[in-house]
Structure 1
């Protein structure tokens, strides 16, 4: 085609940023709108980036920055509450043998790497801006932005998260549902000798764990049954997290004194959602958390969202015609892989809620992650 195709990407998280980079590389005109003025550049404590996510980041051209900023490792430990190591498991290299199994990162670092790549791509970025679908036809989508301007695009890609206003605006009624669990997270200095994720199942919480995110930092987390948020005040977050972790050994006594600033502790419920049926309406298509979300029990949420961007970009770049059949092909290629991750992630959490001591958590994790070595 001689005419440059135009795309609006709504949402500047991992999936939206990756989508923008890939489509700009293919020569398309891309506008990225993000509701937050700061582009989420400081949000979050840490992230566990597994191999299949690293594979996408490598394709984006940012792998070297990710490796330099994060902490690669290839195993995880299971410990008793007193810190005794019960088992060390070699992690599955879901991105292939040439990449580490996992890289722990400070989430703002990963976001900044992607922001820089979006800026370098030449995409037009509008921060503090929301988008509303006005109308569409067989050839394009008319959009109004919150700054009062309007535009018409060949395609709109909604990567605006699990609370996606675009999803609701195009008539898809699926919504995230709480799973019954919640997580406390915080960034802290990394103790000497802490060089992988260690997990403790049981004690005063369902899971207590930590992940190195650089030579000097980690993020720590503890998972419990969710609480009525009205019973918690943000000023108590550090005290609550320390209280839950007080009985744990190993590296925890070195970490706990650094959980002292409630403004740096994040408390979040676990949610699940998988949009059933098509992920598009006309020329508006959902990707990432706007189409699916799950608890981080497999640490795959960001990975499968990044995969969405890679697959959709591949299909769009190769196609002469953009139509409903193409967008349905995207859904059909992704749904079985995504469903397996969502259902396994939810099942692991449900076993913990039910106190199912004999549940085959390692087996389910191994089976699910093993399938992700295949290309998406």
Structure 2
């Protein structure tokens, strides 16, 4: 017997869909509500560390995800300037254990498409153009969910997996919201030259970090991390030109990336944010997970992995217990809050060292320390 029979999930990102898959597989009735009109095909790529891949294995989605992306081992650091010499090659910790690669890259849209297919195959109902706009949690045994102002029924639990600007977070009175870290990132999705077989980062030059990650046999995404600026109103042509200009100090595969930008590859811009809801992530029968509960700069590529772990731990407890009670929430928070907190703190610290120009900081030691923590199952 599970602790829940009927669950509503707000948001169809990786955390929400992972929760939907596991609950539906256990025989729970699941409704996923998403404000978007349809599944987005936009976005560039995503880097997934081994602990994220371990969750995909538990979901039963690993085979499809492995086929849609490109797995790799290790990380290379290059210097800016002519020839882009490799100055260090760092091994990755297998945070997912020996059965999974250290990391992989894949198109974001493909990841969401695969998880959506697995959720619907398991029996979850996914509703697009349906934003959760209100709740009534006056009944301790259920929560009434409102979509577009209309009641859609009573549920044993509402999971708010609706992202950085979570509506559900506000509905339950949590005032913590994402804050800018002082960094912004340009991203583009381009073709992959044969010599790009892993993530490579360039430190120094006109931006904090320049890098790229392979996402498939023929694709990769590239990025430039700069001081946060008001770039949000620039035209598509100006966005491309900014990325071209800021990348000219970087040689090697960046020459290929610039050629694709000139040929029409789109550039997009966002700011890095950080936040962590301290203490409890639930209020009664409503709980937030993923980016709704925590966010961090992608300096150690753990954002998606932490959201997936939130979903996996939550659903494991819901399936293993008989009731949604304080004991369940205490175990959930004990397993998730310290781990997510460590990732947020380390990710923000790595970015701040870049902003401060701290050349004595032990970035490698911090990254390795967090990786060792993540190698232990959540």
Q: TM-score, normalised by structure 1?
A: 0.97
What is the rounded CA distance, in whole Å, between the counterparts of 1:205 and 1:214 in structure 2? 26
Residue 3 to residue 78, structure 1, CA distance change in 2 (3 Å)? closer
Deviations, residues 285-342 of structure 1 (Å, cap 9, x unaligned): 0100000000000000000100001000111001111123322321121111111100
Q: Distance in 1 between matches of 2:232 and 2:48?
A: 32
* Aligned-pair CA distance for 1:183: 0.5
Select 1:255's aligned residue among 254, 257, 265: 257
- Counterparts of 1:1-376 in structure 2 under 5 Å? 1=1, 5-40=5-40, 42-82=41-81, 83-136=84-137, 137-146=139-148, 148-229=150-231, 232-260=234-262, 264-376=266-378
Instruction: Tell me if structure 1 keeps the 8 A contact 2:163–2:292.
Output: yes
Q: Is the 8 A contact 2:4 2:323 kept in 1?
A: no
Q: How many residues align?
A: 375
- Counterpart contact for 2:12–2:32, Cα < 8 Å: yes
Distance in 2 (alpha carbons) for counterparts of 1:76 and 1:341: 19
Q: Structure 1 324/262 Cα, relative in aligned 2: closer, same or farther at 3 Å? A: farther
CA separation in 2, counterparts of 1:161 and 1:248? Answer: 33
Q: Distance in 2 between matches of 1:163 and 1:191?
A: 36
Contact 2:236/2:266 (8 A) holds in 1: no
Check 1:13–1:253 CA distance in 2 against 1; reply closer, same or farther (3 A cut). Answer: same
Give the Cα–Cα distance (whole angstroms) in 2 for the partners of residues 57 and 329 of structure 1: 22
Distance 1:224 1:96 in 2: 34
* Cα distance in structure 1, aligned partners of 2:264 and 2:196: 24
CA distance in 2, matches of 1:164, 1:21: 21
Which TM-score applies when normalising by structure 2? 0.96
Structure 1: runs of 5+ lacking an equivalent: none
Cα deviation, 1:163-212, whole Å, max 9, x if unaligned, reads: 00110111000000000001001110101221111100110100000001
Q: Distance in 2 between matches of 1:308 and 1:121?
A: 20
Describe the superposition over 1:85-120 as per-residue Cα deviations: whole angstroms up to 9, x where unpaired: 001111111000111000110111111111111121
Residue 272 of structure 1: how far off its partner (Å)? 0.2
Distance in 2 of aligned mates of 1:228 and 1:103: 31
- Residue 219 of structure 1: how far off its partner (Å): 0.3
Q: By how many angstroms is 1:214 displaced?
A: 0.5
Q: For residues 121 and 231 of structure 1, what CA distance do their matches in structure 2 show? A: 41
**Whole-Å Cα distance in 2 between the matches of residues 323 and 229 of structure 1?**
46
> Which runs of structure 1 show a deviation greater than 6 angstroms over 4 or more consecutive aligned residues?
none
Secondary structure at 2:342 match in 1: helix
Equivalent residues of 1:191, 1:255 under 8 A apart: no
Counterparts in 2 of 1:304 and 1:202: CA distance versus 1, 3 Å: same
Q: Determine the C-alpha separation between the residues in 2 that align with 1:373 and 1:270.
A: 25
Indicate conservation of the 8 Å contact 1:279/1:328, yes or no.
no
3-state SS in 1 of match to 2:184: strand
